[in-house]
Amino acid sequence: MTGELTGQIAVVTGAGRGIGRALAIRFAQAGCEVAAVARTDGQLRETVEIIEAAGGRSIYVVADVTNPHAVQAMVQSVQADLGPIDLLINNAGRALAIGPIWEADPDEWWLDIETNLRGAFLCCRAVIPEMLVRQRGRIINIASGHALGPSPYFYSSSKAALLRLTDCLANELTLQEAGVRVFAVSPGMVETRMTEYLFTSDAGRKWLPQLANVPRGTTDRVVELAVLLASGSADVLSGRFIQIADNVLEMVQHVEKIRQQGLYSLRLHKLPEPNRP
């Protein structure tokens, strides 16, 4: 256990496998007591067993993050078992609506939106009141670089919305002088079950053939970025979208320029106004 975050309580959604499991394990190594959250009991058990075998403390809570009652019950359960929540990592994600809008299944598309956006909203809504009381807390939303440019599938729409949610929430918390910080993070193209579906499904092979040639990385860089943000070293960047290739400590040094120019956030860029007499 490295101890950067000793004594903190972390909730990681989508923690049954992939990036979520890696985040839960790394936060436990950093000294957190970790609540692993997902919909699948068996996968969560495995995550907790890995953490406890390494000497960490963890619990799991089976919950659907798109259900407000389930999310509220999950937060209450974590608070009862571990204590007040210091860190929320909104990692639960879904990407099954593949193809152009005239062929995409509308129900699958909406489920993607519900998981990626509504899920993060509900979890934030459930943990922030206690964070406001304690005047402390950090939230990390796992987003995607696909939110920034043209993308051939609608996962990018939900992740772009997640960037705006992060931005708006950070502004609201700043106005409250709440001591609560929120960030959006892109993990890059990591080899997980979700990304494997994009490469190997019939829809993926038809509509996303270019992804087959995209290098897939590991979870190492995103988990270290998450721990850095959770440590408080980059609190001045609250509301910003940070990718794994970004030099966070350099960003901190240039925070005034970032704020003035609206860098590392979604903004509409327009032609300059014509000169007027």
pLDDT in tens, 59-89: 999 999 999 999 999 999 999 999 999 999 9
CATH of residue 100's domain is 3.40.50.720
Cβ atoms of 239 and 265 closer than 8 Å: yes
pTM, 2 dp: 0.91
In a domain? residue 270: no
Please indicate, yes or no, if residue 43 is contained in any of the structural domains: yes
Residue 265 in any domain: the answer is: no
Q: Which of 60, 153, 155, 264 is catalytic?
A: 155
Could you confirm whether 153 is annotated as catalytic?
A: no
pLDDT tens for 7-27 read: 999 999 999 999 999 999 999
CA dihedral 149, 122, 15, 53 (to 10 degrees): 140
Domain span at 32: 9-191+218-258
pLDDT the model gives residue 50 = 98
Q: Which residues contact 270 (CB under 8 A, 6 or more apart)?
A: none
- Name the band, by pLDDT with cuts 50, 70 and 90, for residue 204: low
Euclidean distance between CA atoms 122 and 129, whole angstroms: 12
Say if 273 falls within a structural domain. Answer: no
> What is the pLDDT at residue 163?
96
Q: For residues 25 and 19, what is the distance between their CA atoms, to the nearest angstrom?
A: 10
Q: How far apart are CA 267 and CA 197, in angstroms?
A: 31
